Structures are given as C-alpha cells and as structure tokens.
Amino acid sequence: MKHPAFLAFLVSLLWFLFGLSGPLLVWWLAAEGVANPVLLPAPNQVAASVLELFGDGSLATDIMASLRRVFTGFFIASTLAVPLALLMACFLPLRRLFLPLVTVLRPIPPIAWIPLAILWFGLGDKPSYFITALAAFFPIFLNAFAGAADVDPRHVYAARFLGAGRWRMVRHIYLMSALPHIWTGLRIGLGQSWMAVVTAELIAAQSGLGYMIQANRINLETRHVLTGMIVIGVLGALMTTALGWCEKFILPWKHQRQ
Amino acid sequence: MTANRRFEAGQRLRDIAAGRLRRHCATGAVALDDISVSFFSDRSVTVVSGVSLTILPGEFVTFLGPSGCGKTTLLNLIGGMIRPTTGKVHIDGALVTEPTPVCNIVFQQHSLFGWMRAIDNVAFGPRAMGHPDPRGEAMRFLRLVGLDNHADAYPAALSGGMQQRVAIARALATAPSVLLMDEPFGALDAQTRSIMQEELLKLRRDIAPTVIFVTHDVDEALLLSDRIFVMRAMPGGLKEEITLDGEFRHETDVLRNGKYRKLRQHILTQIREETLKVFNRPDGGR
Ligand SMILES: Nc1ncnc2c1ncn2[C@@H]1O[C@H](COP(=O)(O)OP(=O)(O)O)[C@@H](O)[C@H]1O
Ligand SMILES: [Mg+2]
C-alpha cells in the first residue's frame, strides 16, 4: 500500500533539512575559524546547551511563558480586530469614527509602546500581553477590513434579494467573503506577535525566551543566547506550518477537489 | 406579432381573465414611469431617459440591445439596486426603493456565494425568510434544476452552466414575483446556452414569476420572450416594442420559419444602428 501524501511530506522534509545543512556547515567552519565561544559558539556547543537547558527544565518554562503571552495577546487582538474591521467595513458612520484613530496609531511600532506598557502594567505578563496584542492587532485588522470592504456588490445584492437582515449580512456575507483575507491577517498577526513577545521580554519581563536571551547575554553565555534564538526560529516556523495545515479546515471551499 | 404594435394592456388582461394565456399569476406587475438615470461622477452622463412601460404578472419580457445601451441599468432600477434620477418604479403598486425579496436576480456569472456549498447557496433565502425546512426546500429547487446530486459541491467545483442553474435555483427558492436575469447565459458556450434556454422555459411552466431578461443575443430574445424591447443607445431608452407571446418557444427549427427570419433581420438592423452610435462616440463605448 502506498502513502503518496506521507511520501511527499517525507521528501519535502528531507529537502528542508538538506537546505539547512549548508548554512550549518558554514556556521561550523566559521566557529572553527573564530575559535572563541563567546563570539561564536560552534553548533555542537549550542546542541549541548539545548540539552542542558531542556534538562534543567528552564527552557520549557521559558517557552511556555512566551507562548502563553503570544497566544493571550493574539487572542485579545483577533477578538477585537475582526469584529471591529467588519463593522467598520459595513457601517459608514463607524468607519468615519474609527478610521482616523487607526490610521494614526498604525505606524507606531509595538516597541515604542513598551515604556507606557511598563508604566501602566508593571513588569511580568501584563505588559507583554499588551505588546503582543498590539503587534497582532494591525495586520489582522487591516486585512479583515480590506477583505470586508472588497466584498463583491453582487453578493450583497443577492443576499438582500434573498431577505438577509443586517446580522445575516455581516455574519454570512461580509465575514465569509473576507475570511481568506482575515486568515492571511491572522497568520501575519501571529508572526508579528511572536516577534513582539521577544522584544517585550527583553525589557519588560522576568521570564520567557526574550528574557532568557537578555540574561545570558549579560553573563556572556553566548551558546545559551543562540539556543534561545534557534528555539524562537523553530517555534515560529512550526506555527506557520501548523497554520498552513489548518487552512483547509478554515477555508474548505478553496481546497475542494473536483 | 407586429413590430411597433402598441401593447394593449386591456386586451392582455381580458385574455388572462378568460384563461387564454397559460400564466395566471396574481403578482409581479412592474411599472416604470418616465424613468431617467444620470450619473454625475464625471460629466453628467444621462444613461437612460424617458422610459415608461408596464409589465404584466407572469410576462417574460426581454431588453435587447448592444453593450452600453443601459440594459443593466434598467434591471438595476427595477431591482432597487439604483434609484432613478427622475421617475418611479412600482412593483404590484409598491414603490421600489431597495432590493427586497419581491424580486430576485441572476447575474451573468460568479455571483454564487463561493464559500457555501450549492445546497447552502439555495437554502440561504429560505433560511433568511424563516422557512421551517430550508434544506428540504433547497433540495426541492436543486432537483428542479437537475443538480440534487451536486448539492454538496462548492461553486468552484461546478461548471459555468451548473453554476448558473444553482443561481437560478437560489433565485427561485424565495418565490420572487419578479425574476431579473442579466445576460444569465452570456458566459456559456453555445450548446450549453441553448440547453439552459430550454430548461428556463420548462421551469417557467411550474413556477411563473414575471421574468425580465437582458441579452444582446437576438435569437435568445426571440426564442424566450412574450415581449421584446429593442433598446436605443445614448441615452438608453426603448426604441421598439415587439410582442410575440412566446410564439417561437416551441418551434424545433426556427430558422426555417420565414416570419422568424424576417423579424430577426429587422431587429439586427435596428441593433446595428444603435451599436454604431455607441461605437462612434468619443470614448468608444466604454
Ligand atoms: N455607476 C456608473 N457611473 C457612470 N456611468 C455608468 C455607471 N453605470 C453604468 N454607466 C454607464 O451607463 C451606460 C449603460 O451601462 P449598462 O446599463 O451597464 O449597459 P448594458 O448593460 O446595456 O451594457 C454605459 O455607457 C456605462 O458606461
Ligand atoms: Mg450589462
């Protein structure tokens, strides 16, 4: 019995690892050349660091702290951004009311909010929730708004001829025809949130991957810093891949086989 | 049938009362009263002017004319999608101001909700109208257009002809008094189009809303219609009215019919005149 999908997965995984092996080799040679583990530890030293940090449980704790902050912020951002975007796309008065604020707030990078976040929320989880939510909000909001504003007028007319009231129109026409855009926004938003959590933790937290990197930098434990960076990269890539797999459940009509 | 014959509503009503016409609908009377439409976006463009007409319940009326003569604009007016600059549209005595389930529409293509399966597209109306069994009702209409075995397909997985059949089922599922069709078969290949025309006529034996049909295809208009309005262009309006009472509907080989050929030639000449008007204007008829 054949498993074409599984085989295809295996092949693409092999290619993926193969693609990484070149840079890994370059890193190894460079580390040999530099011969200074504070400036550039070798891959085997970092591998040892990964085992060490996993072994004492600290890495798992940091990962969980960062993930919690990202998903909480991301959740807050999506529950605010999607409804707000849809309502603004559907109802002109709301659009007029909120668009100026959104336009002015959007160019401010999340990192610029960190001082305020610390003043308002102190240190710990709360300022990080604030920052991760902020980072995810704009990609989600802007994509959802563009999607809903771009709804095909024929769909709106058809729905009105079919007797749809306001709620049905927002829920089944605007939301659903914007869903591919919203999905894009969610994916970008999660990525932004993941990057922002590290920034927030560098400054405003006492745990998490960002904090771990910062603490180890001060102790000149560069191999731990690299471990932190690699974990961030791998987890970010895993999130992206997982979302890619979810897509056929979120947007089934884009994936139906004939 | 005579070209330019003034339509006599009184006679038609007597025919209906006497049961001489097959259709016997109580609703779906459409009245346009001195309609004009101008768009002020650029220079003030008058797209339609001085249109008055009455359509009887259950009638199949076609607007026939070249691209850009205002056919879609007229349909949008009747559906309430746009408001006339002057004049009024009434359906069954009620002023039309916005799209409501009194009418429904079939567009040329791609108007199905792509994120819903065929059955949910058709059930959308019954659901919105509070029907007790929307899926059952949707199935009934899908069966009517011969697509009950494709109920679970998403629109993208259906052929163009199938999509239009679903669109027709969706439009009929709320029992509109007036069905608007804007070149509904215009994007289909000739064979599919001809089958769809027959199917539409068959459907109308069971469900007989007033149909207002838009096309630039003379044969299609002659085959389907009770009445044809040949349109003039720039500004759009009615050039000529031709009453057929569906007399070519059941002919197997219309092109052998001398009367058909003469009428067809006459209409083609009329349309060509109007097409040249659009063609020769400075913006090339965009
Ligand atoms: N919203 C609009 N603004 C300006 N001009 C328009 C608008 N809608 C239609 N028109 C113009 O009105 C004319 C008639 O359009 P339309 O009714 O779509 O023609 P048809 O359906 O017969 O091809 C065209 O010349 C078109 O450019
Ligand atoms: Mg048109």
- CB B71 near ligand 1, within 6 Å: yes
**How far is ligand 1, taken at its centre, from the CA of residue B73, in Å?**
6
Task: Compute the nearest-CA separation of A52 from chain B (Å).
Answer: 49
- CB B45 near ligand 1, within 6 Å: yes
Task: Compute the nearest-CA separation of A258 from chain B (Å).
Answer: 5
User: Is residue B285 over pLDDT 70?
Assistant: no
In this complex, do A256 and B153 lie within 8 Å of one another by their Cβ atoms? yes
Distances (CA, A) of B213 to A71, A179, B7: 53, 33, 18
Q: Which residues contact B3 (CB under 8 A, 6 or more apart)?
A: B240, B242, B263, B266
**How far is ligand 1, taken at its centre, from the CA of residue B163, in Å?**
25
Could you tell me if A158 lies within 8 Å of chain B, comparing CB atoms? yes
Cα separation of B1 and B184, whole Å?
Answer: 26
Could you tell me if A161 lies within 8 Å of chain B, comparing CB atoms? yes
Task: Compute the nearest-CA separation of B109 from chain A (Å).
Answer: 10
Chain A residue with CA closest to B98: the answer is: A160
Chain A residue with CA closest to B129: the answer is: A163
* CA-B70 nearest atom, ligand 1: 17
State the first-to-last Cα distance of chain A, in angstroms, to the nearest integer: 24
Q: Which bound ligand lies closest to the C-alpha atom of A153?
A: 1
**HSE, side-chain direction, 13 A CA sphere, residue A143:** 17
Q: Which bound ligand lies closest to the C-alpha atom of B182?
A: 2
Q: What is the pLDDT of residue A258?
A: 52
- Is omega for the bond preceding B235 within 30 degrees of 0, making it cis? yes
Phi, psi at B231, each rounded to 5°: -100, 150
Question: Residue A253 carries which DSSP code?
Answer: G
Query: How do beta strands B103-106 and B94-95 pair?
Result: unpaired
A42-256: CATH topology is MetI-like fold (1.10.3720)
> Which residues of chain A have a CB within 8 Å of the CB of B157?
256-258
**HSE, side-chain direction, 13 A CA sphere, residue B196:** 25
Chain B residue with CA closest to A173: the answer is: B113
What digits encode the pLDDT tens for the residues A151-173? 999 999 999 999 999 999 999 99
Tokens (6 digits) for A158: 């058809």
> Which residues of chain A have a CB within 8 Å of the CB of B110?
152, 154
What digits encode the pLDDT tens for the residues A62-104? 999 999 999 999 999 999 999 999 999 988 999 999 999 999 9
User: Is residue B6 over pLDDT 60?
Assistant: no
In this complex, do B125 and A162 lie within 8 Å of one another by their Cβ atoms? yes
Across A35-55, average pLDDT: 92
The domains of chain A are located at: 42-256
What digits encode the pLDDT tens for the residues B94-145? 999 999 999 999 999 889 999 999 999 999 999 999 999 999 999 999 999 9
Q: What is the pLDDT of residue A87?
A: 92
Kindly report the three-state secondary structure assignment for every residue of chain B: CCECCCCCHHHHHHHHHCCCCCCCCCCCCEEEEEEEEEECCCCCEEEEEEEEEEECCCCEEEEECCCCCCHHHHHHHHHCCCCCCEEEEEECCEECCCCCCCEEEECCCCCCCCCCCHHHHHHHHHHHCCCCCHHHHHHHHHHHCCCHHHCCCCHHHCCHHHHHHHHHHHHHCCCCCEEEEECCCCCCCHHHHHHHHHHHHHHHHHCCCEEEEEECCHHHHHHHCCEEEEEECCCEEEEEEEECCCCCCCCCCHHHCHHHHHHHHHHHHHHHHHHHHHHCCCCCCC
Across A207-234, average pLDDT: 94
Cα separation of A141 and A148, whole Å?
Answer: 10
Task: Compute the nearest-CA separation of A181 from chain B (Å).
Answer: 13
